[in-house]
Chain A
């Protein structure tokens, strides 16, 4: 019987979660060890940890003991390569087993793991590797060419590890092959004695200004990720859990690796692009019981209709959750029709490390609401200027009191940027919301210019900087525009240099230019060629005017700040 939200909230203390993990304040704590060695020590060595399949239908199964030995092997191999604790090791791979094994292996040897979305283009990759001073990147042969293009500009990068290198093709400068499954397994490995405050994971996230920031997590995050996975995802001993998120983003590591495996739960992973029929077949085949998805994916499934879902035996599904962007009420209602169960929305962000506002299992779901604060999380909706809580029902920004274990330590090399997100003792999330009389939070919109596309945050600055590198672009502004599937997509307003003309082919050329340089997420899906961008008298582009136009919202009185 699932305990209620009220039960869970009474006398909640994060130390209770730590105690369940056998962790006591001051003791070493290592995420890699907790997700593998500890689970084996609990008598689950032979239990299936990972059910993996790719788009070709290739399958692999790993037990928790396989996980333990292969992560030991990875950690030991990195040590031999001279990677030191505290150094940054980037994982730049599709969802192949080496990504999951490598993640825990890096943590076991005390280095900081930096997962990056494998669809990133070379500019996005360079920005993040350069900022982190990454010493080693682990990748696949299909992605290594992007690394080769930027290698000269990465003096700190000593090793480029290729996990599927062809034996008959010579490797290039700084490259080394790793056949993890072909190595002699390391059965005994001395896990690095990381502490609660030892940095663990570096996830890059976008803001309105400047380049993406490296959100620096610490090993203590395990405590929050373990208990939220257990309670909110309602993970139980016999579950088969599927998280749709890519480990290049925080959901894919917090709840696609750490949370479920710290609970000793079997995970299913599908390394394939979206295809509704394939997804249902995958869930049926592996008997998925708990599914953590995203509104964009749910909306794509909605487009395929209820009938398709009913052609598959999805009766094993017990609990459904969603994250990444607000889950619209229609999707909640539709999921009840299609799967007989509602999706439970969860709210959090890269900086929080764990779910902070959630719809608990058993809690009444108000379709369209993100739920209530997780026990142990002190949340409020505050005035963005003063940091004072606003009266119930009024719009403000979501704010959290520091003190939950998975809050990031800082932004890598940018502590001032992290401090700037605090006001009046609150951490300001940057999302506008209201709270109703029952304590449920309702998302209103972003409080800044960041674009939330398909659950991923994209910063306008990075796109605009890349646009300026195109030979035809004089000036640009990147803003969000509404999209029925992805909630928002990028729209670029562009002025062209003399000698260039706006055309459909020019639009496509610029789209592809950004897709390759940055990523498909950052690619403007619409481009408007205009004569002049709206600017302040001092020449600063006013994105909010363009954004408001896109959303059909009032732009307010701009006469005092705009140029003619």
Chain B
């Protein structure tokens, strides 16, 4: 689980924050409410998770709340990996 969180966090930092951005983000940082990932960009983040973990996340489960932190995203991925 920790490896998964690290991997998701790394992806978020790489794709949604610029290299010279000094924003300190962690597993509990609010990505959607905090404006780091907007609702449109959630689609590419969802696609990344589906590709990397070979899962399908139904749109109904891809809510802004479920995608709001790395912790909640990892829990969501875990749920579909086990399904």
A residues whose Cβ falls under 8 Å from a Cβ of B: 55-56, 94, 119, 142, 145, 271-278, 300, 303-304, 453-454, 484, 486, 489, 504-505, 507-508, 511-512, 515, 520-521, 523, 525
Contacts and interface: CB of A to CB of B under 8 A. Distances in A.
Given A512-B15, A525-B43, A275 B51 contact: no
Q: By DSSP majority rule, is chain B's interface helix, strand, loop, or mixed?
A: loop
A274 B39 contact: yes
Contacts of B20: 145
Interface string B31-44: 01111011111011
Range of interface residues on B (Cβ < 8 Å): 20 to 34
Nearest to A490: B40
A360 B30 CA distance: 39
Interface string B7-32: 00000000100101101000000101
Nearest to A521: B40
Contacts of B32: 273-275
Q: By DSSP majority rule, is chain A's interface helix, strand, loop, or mixed?
A: mixed
Contacts of B37: 273
B60 to A, nearest CB: 8
Contact of B39 (A55, A145, A272, A300): A300
Contacts of A300: 39, 64
Contacts of A484: 59
Given A275-B32, A508-B48, 5 more contacts: A145-B18, A273-B39, A303-B63, A504-B50, A515-B44
B44 to A, nearest CB: 5
Contacts of A278: 33
Nearest to B14: A512
B41 A520 contact: yes
A70 B63 CA distance: 39
A523 B43 contact: yes
Contact of A523 (B44, B50, B59, B60): B44
A515 B65 CA distance: 22
Nearest to B19: A145
23 contacts: A55-B33, A55-B35, A56-B34, A145-B21, A273-B64, A275-B32, A275-B65, A300-B39, A300-B64, A303-B63, A489-B43, A504-B51, A505-B51, A507-B47, A508-B48, A511-B43, A511-B44, A512-B15, A515-B44, A520-B40, A520-B41, A523-B41, A523-B43
